[in-house]
Each structure stands twice: as structure tokens, then as C-alpha cells.
Structure 1
């Protein structure tokens, strides 16, 4: 089987149009179409349903496409491995992460990584998930670390680890609102102080679903901010209830600075690695992702 024919098929399958795939491969559309036709003829299969609006994969085409993803991913891994012999792990390491990931997951792994590769210079952008994912498309950031998936077609996500959530408030608030049971106490804290959440959380499908599952109804909002670190600080100041990752508030709970409200089924969220599809990562980025994955997986 001719590998170039497979690559031609793979690029057309990704874009859905021969014209776009031809531009990406820097060959004529007719030559690309001929390569795909030869592949189908030689193997005796139909991989595309063709129409004026473009092409769609057949059932067999979908199977071949998924195998091609593995094939070319392996090819790239081999290329990167061989290149590392000549490359030095140094220079800029540009990526983005939400503030809670930076504060609770990134500091120690980045510290140990820099001891190993002192000539790498990290440049880290922080912000809400939408801005972070946008930066992968419009800036030099090579990857991102965040807990929320943003629905952008040309972004790939890889799960690194999972984290349970904790519903917390200042202990004095819980004592002040103490009732005959935890549910009534929770209702009273919400009525008196409100819920600290992300801006517009009740307007977005996924955050709203989580909130409704947590409280059974839309709670009174006490304060909105897209910074989870800010939510934690306002919670410590007694501004209301916050729902944050367990690692983010573990020390404060242990020290008695925050009270963990009993929740029967706390939510579990995944920490995601996000990369723009087709992006070739630098050696520094590849090495750091490998190092970080090992650290958070422990």
C-alpha cells in the first residue's frame, strides 16, 4: 500500500474538501484526487461518498481514517524521538492554564522541570477557559491545561487526571445558619449569603446542570467571578458558598479555615490537556507535558 495515497486520503477526510486538502499538501487538486482514486482502486474499496458540496466518509472510510490517525500519530512520535537526538531542550515554553491549575497543580512540577532543564524559559498565560482556548488559535501558546472543555472543533483534548469537588464556606456561616439538618442549613446559608460562581454560570448548559444537580434548583447568587482563586478568597472572607476542586481547598479545610459542606454525590472533573489539531510541539513543550503528566498522575 502506498503511504502517500493514505496521506492524501487522510487530509481529504480531515477537511472534507479536496481543494483545502490540496492546499495543505501543496499539490494540485487533480493530483490529490487521482491519489485517492488510486488508493480506492488498488484496495477495492469506496472510501468517500462524493457530492458537489464536498465528500463524506463511507463506513469503511471511517475505519480507515481512525487507523490513519494512529499511523500518522506514530509516525510523528518517531520523528520527534529522532529529532530529540539533535535538539536541545531550551528556549521558550509558551502555554496557558486556568488560575486554579497554576496555583494547585503547576508550581511544583514546573519547579522540578526547570531544575532538570534550566535553559527552558516558561511563559504562562492565565485566564478563563474561553480566553485560554482562544489563545491556542491566535497566539504562540502551544498547549493549555484546564478543567473545562471548550467546544472548538480544531482543538484536541487529552485527559490527564480527575479531581473531586468540595462545597465549602467559612465555618462561622455554617454555625450561624445551623438548623435541624444539613439540607436546611445549606438553604439558609444560600438565602443569607448566596453562591459564589463563574460569571453567567446559570446561562451556560454545563455549569447550570452541575449547579442544579448540586442544589436541586437555581441558587441565589452572591457573587460572580471567572477566577476560581478569587472565589476561594471571597469564600474565606465569608462571602458565601463556593464549589471548588478538592486540592484547591484541602489545606484550608484541614486548618479549619473552611468548612466542607456534606454533599452526597460530589462532582468529579477532569484535568484536560488541550492542543490545536496539527500543531507540532517544541521539544520543551513535549518534555514538559511528559513530566507534568507523570507528576499529576502520581
Structure 2
């Protein structure tokens, strides 16, 4: 059986839903469902119990799942051995990104890339948005993901996505019914700050920088998962790009509203690389695939 078919089957088994599996695989749900049906026809047995709440493996499916996991593991081991013999398809990817990229974008990108290039190793750093370009410029990492504002010399943006900052709150919050939110609105409610520094300098928005410095936050935390949990619990509001919130927005667990500041609404997330040195081929390949996934995430954000 083809490796991609097994991956589809494993993902549906993991998610318990063709739709959820298709979102993780970035493949049309109809294509995933067709592959599952073809697999069941080929084996002559149903692999799932189709329930109102989703799909659950039956005994035949559980047996195939063990086989599929063993097969794909063996395939990856074989690929690694062949890569070592050829001296190709290996290398080390070094990147830095703001914390919100660790919710969906980077885990999915690394997981997918590892399926194709299992011999590649990674160094991945979570840091403040304004520090990412400096790490790229200094050569400590080869690429970064951050808000694309003023960049230092020696760094260039190779991909951009319209994923601006906005205000995030629980669905029942008083600001949730507004079309947009002002800084004055934010000042009236407990605010959860995502770090000790703003995500950009005063040259982009002096008003936002002044608000950030003057506020007395209800909490300051650089952990995106913890902040999202506090927001869901109604402990305050915060500012995030939708890049960190896609699944929560789809499920209606959080609400995102744009700022009334035009400068913030134009803010983009970008992939930055050095422009004075050539990246290794394997890193260039990773950047290309990461850029495509960033575009897909931008499209998903526009639909929420």
C-alpha cells in the first residue's frame, strides 16, 4: 500500500474525523474519504465504525493501524539509511520564531518535513518577535518567523501573510459584539500581557507602544497556551495574531477583533532569511514548504 494512503488512514484514526484529518493534512476532505473507502474496498473489510460523533476504529482498523505505523516507521528508517549512503537529504535547520508560531504553524511544518526528510535535525528557538530578525542577522539561526516591521541590515523577507494583531477575548466578553476595538476599550478591561516588551517599536504605532508601557496588566506571561487558557476563563483580554488561534476560533472558544488602528491592521507575519549568505539546500527546501503552509494558514484565518 502506498505510504500516502497509510498516512491518511493514520491521521483519520488519530483525529476520529475525515474533516479534521483533512485539515491537518491540508488535503481536501473528499480526497481523504475516497482513499479510506478505496482502502476498505481493497482489503474487503470496513476499518471504522461510522458514528454520529465521528469515526472510531473497529478491530480490523486497529490491526491495520499497528501495521501502518510499523510500515511507515520502517520506511523512514530505510530512507534515513539510503540518505546516509548518498550523503543527501540530510542537514540541520536552525530557526527562531515568536511563540504564537508554536501553536500550529511550526509543529505541522516540522512534522510534514520530517516525513519527507527524516535525516534532518532541528534547532528551534521561541523568542520575542523583535528579537527574531537579530538572531537571523547575527547568524545564530538561518531563518525566522515574526511580524514584518523594520528589519535590520542583512535580513530580507521571503514570504508574507496578512495576519495582523487583534484583540482576543472570551465569547461572552462585552467587547465581543463590537466590529473593532480601540485602545481606550482595552484600557477599561483586565489585560493579559504576552511579554515585557511590545511586539514592535514605536515607529509602527506610537499609540500602541504608549498603551503597552502605561498599562498595569492583570498578568504578564510569555506562554501562549497559558494566556489562551486565561482568556477562555474570562480572566482578561490580550493581543494576538490569528496565527496562534485558528482552532479555537473555528470552535468558537475565542473571539478575535481587529484594532481601530490602521497601522496594526496592516501588520503582516513574515519569514525572514539572511540576504548576504546562501542557505544550505535542505534549509531552502524547508523555507519553501514553510512559506506554502504560512499561505494556507492565512487563508484559514481569513475564513474564521
Whether the 8 Å contact between 2:193 and 2:238 is mirrored in structure 1 is yes
Measured after TM superposition, the shift of residue 232 of structure 1 is 3.0
Task: Look up the match of 1:168.
Answer: 168
How do residues 27-176 of structure 1 correspond to structure 2 at under 5 angstroms? 88-149=88-149, 151-174=151-174
CA distance in 2, matches of 1:155, 1:184: 33
Kept in 1, the 8 Å contact 2:93–2:121? The answer is: yes
Gaps of 5+ in 1: 1-85
Q: 1:284, CA displacement in angstroms?
A: 1.3
**2:198 equivalent in structure 1:** 201
* Mean CA deviation greater in 279-288 or 122-131: 122-131
Q: Which runs of structure 2 are paired with 1:241-280 in the superposition (5 Å)?
A: 241-261=237-257, 267-280=265-278
User: 2:290 aligned with 1:292, yes or no?
Assistant: yes
**Other structure's SS at 2:268 match:** strand
Bigger Rg over Cα: 1
Cα deviation, 1:188-218, whole Å, max 9, x if unaligned, reads 77424135354243993046447389x9xx7
RMSD: 3.9
Distance 2:148 2:294 in 1: 17
**Corresponding residue for residue 280 of structure 2:** 282
- Tell me the number of residue pairs that the alignment of Structure 1 and Structure 2 aligns: 208
SS in 2 for 1:253: helix
Consecutive aligned runs of 4 or more in structure 1 exceeding 6 Å deviation:
181-186
Question: Is the CA contact (8 Å cut-off) linking 2:167 and 2:237 kept in structure 1?
Answer: yes
Q: Kindly tell me: are residues 289 and 208 of structure 1, through their superposed partners in 2, closer, same or farther at Cα, counting changes over 3 Å?
A: same
Give TM-score scaled by structure 2 length: 0.55
CA contact 2:165–2:259 (8 Å) conserved in 1: no
Q: Which runs of 5+ in 2 are unaligned?
A: 1-85, 297-304
Q: Tell me if the contact between 1:194 and 1:221 (Cα under 8 Å) persists in the aligned partners.
A: yes
Name the SS for the 2:162 alignment partner: strand
